[in-house]
Amino acid sequence: MKPVSATWVGHRGFPPSEKDLVTKFLATLCLESLADKANELRGRDDCIVNSDTFARGREHVVFELNFGDGIEWVARIPLPHRLLGRTTAEIRSEVATIRFVCQHSGLPVPRVQGFDFDWTNKVGAPYVLMDAIRGRIYEKILPDIAESKKAGIYHQLAAKLVEMSKLPRWNKIGFLLGENSQYTITTMAFEGYHRLPAVISSRKFYFQRANWFLESKLQEGNQEWIAVAWLYREAIPHFLQSQYENGPFPLRHPDFSNPNILYDDEDNIAGIIDWTAAQTSPWEQFARYPHEFNRRSFPSGAVAIRERELFLQFLEDEEKKVDPAIPMTKFIGSKAGRIAELVDEYHSYSVLPMEDIKELIYLIYGSGITWEEIKGMAVKQILSF
């Protein structure tokens, strides 16, 4: 049997600009200490760390650990240059989240076997030891996978989303912390940015996020981005669902899409990985398509309508098994759901997303308002304060 790392690409998975930073960081690690810790946890002496190759996520590297009895673990280590000033609180929360999901569902997440959050430990960095999950990631985004695979994969994704919706809910929006089934929520963040006190209202979450984004654009001084941030704030009442405003709030995977879904050789979902920055969230943020269904194709700028409808069909089938009223399906397929989806992409763009902006304006104001008029409205209102 091939090792879990057989398809890992090491440095080829990094932007060239990061190669030197990663190489220097890896040279500081004592990977033998990972093997020592794994042996200690299992009461063995035969663990070997495969140091020849590694996998990577956006903020982590992953090494493979092999035991003589065939058991395989992975070690997940944060990249210091990718933490962007954040602390190991995110790693602690991710461990708590994974354990919570394992305790309350059958979702295929890697079980945590051990961890150390200290940058000065013998390894030389914080790490989490987890069960290895065999599987591969599809390189193409979900709407572009082979036609013959779409129905099977979309149906599975819909079923997993419904299963996530069945996890116990919370009276606050924020990150889980704790262990031994004793969890608390004290802080939250907007897409991984600076931590803030947890809130108990989706309205407060959305307006606090919108005001934070608007303030950041005001500081940058670009009037078009200021108008976009203003528009996003104006959109909130058009999608907020009053019956869910005060919770309870579902636990949300922040990137439930291709890069974090592992498939076996028969195209069955084998694992859902990378729960970094997972937190409880407003229901309107949880109830949405995997974000790749929102991407526009080049050069037409079209959204994959047929694929979205196919996913929604399977979501309805699965949600009926839990709730005949199919609230997620109805919201995702509604105008309010589309507005929420467009607004939730606020942090994703480095250039103005004009097609999304035009669609959002149409959904809120109809066909009689232009982008130039929106910019004027934004400037007038902001300058009046």
Q: What is the pLDDT of residue 14?
A: 65
Q: Residues 207, 233: contact at Cβ < 8 Å?
A: yes
| Range 106-121 average pLDDT | 95
CA distance 201 to 246: 5
Cis peptide bond upstream of 248, omega within 30: yes
| Range 73-88 average pLDDT | 76
Condensed to tens digits (0 to 9), the pLDDT of residues 325-357 reads 999 999 999 999 999 999 999 988 889 999 999
The DSSP symbol for 199 reads B
Q: Is the dihedral of CA 153, 250, 57, 229 positive or negative?
A: positive
Q: What is the pLDDT of residue 83?
A: 60
| Range 10-21 average pLDDT | 72
Task: Tell me the pTM.
Answer: 0.92
Nearest to 139 by CA among 43, 9, 296, 31: 9
| Range 92-99 average pLDDT | 95
The residue extents of the domains of the chain are: 4-85, 142-383
Nearest to 371 by CA among 385, 384, 360, 383: 360
24-62 per-residue burial string, b: 16 or more CB within 10 A, e: under 16? ebbeebebebbbbbbbeebeeeebebbeebbbbbebbbb
CA distance 345 to 95: 26
Asked whether residue 56 carries a pLDDT value surpassing 90, the answer given is: no
> Per mean pLDDT, which range of 7-16, 212-221, 273-282, 298-307 is the poorest?
7-16
Condensed to tens digits (0 to 9), the pLDDT of residues 258-300 reads 889 999 999 999 999 999 889 999 999 999 999 889 888 766 7
Does the domain formed by 142-383 have CATH 3.90.1200.10?
yes
- Residue 199 has phi, psi (to 5 degrees) of -120, 165
